[in-house]
Amino acid sequence: MDESSESSKRNGAGTLIIGVGTDIIEVLRIGQMIERHGEVFLNRVFTEDEVQYCQRRKEYTQHFAGRWAAKEAVMKTLGTGWSRGVGWRDIEVCTSRSGQPSVILRGGAREIAEQAGICEVLITISHCRSYATATAIAVGR
């Protein structure tokens, strides 16, 4: 990579964008998975805190779909897909009191991020009745 390419990827003082991922999913698809597989599906994909957060929401299916999309987007920033020992629950989406989403990486996802020099993954999530989408940016220093 030449200097101009390197500098074009910089975002602020000393921050390097390592990866970008995006995902979109139909909310109906997640709703169908919840109807068909219930707790088995929820517990395979989402952490206990994620399930509790989403189930407290009026449009809970949209929130589950948003978290699904966020997890997929984060996987794309790691560049591995669902392989190399990374599970759904290795990526947890949290929400601050102000509503800003953030990511906690555990297990295989954390190991891959550390190997890649990723120090933080920023995310944004949006959803409506039909679709949920998320974008993730992996940054390093």
pTM (2 decimals)?
0.88
Identify the CA nearest to 104 among candidates 57, 52, 50: 50
Q: What does the pLDDT average to over 112-121?
A: 96
Question: Cα(59)–Cα(93) distance, rounded to whole angstroms?
Answer: 17
103-110 long-range Cβ contacts below 8 angstroms, 24+ apart: 103/70, 103/74, 103/136, 105/74, 108/84, 109/74, 109/75, 109/78
User: For the purposes of burial, counting CB atoms within 10 Å of the CB of 59, is it exposed (0-12), middle (13-18) or buried (19 or more)?
Assistant: middle
Q: What does the pLDDT average to over 102-109?
A: 97
pLDDT digits (tens, 9 = 90+) for 14-60: 789 999 999 999 999 999 999 999 999 999 999 999 999 999 999 99
Q: What are the structural domain ranges in the chain?
A: 14-140
pLDDT number for residue 107: 95
What is the third-level CATH fold of 14-140?
Ribosomal Protein L22; Chain A (3.90.470)
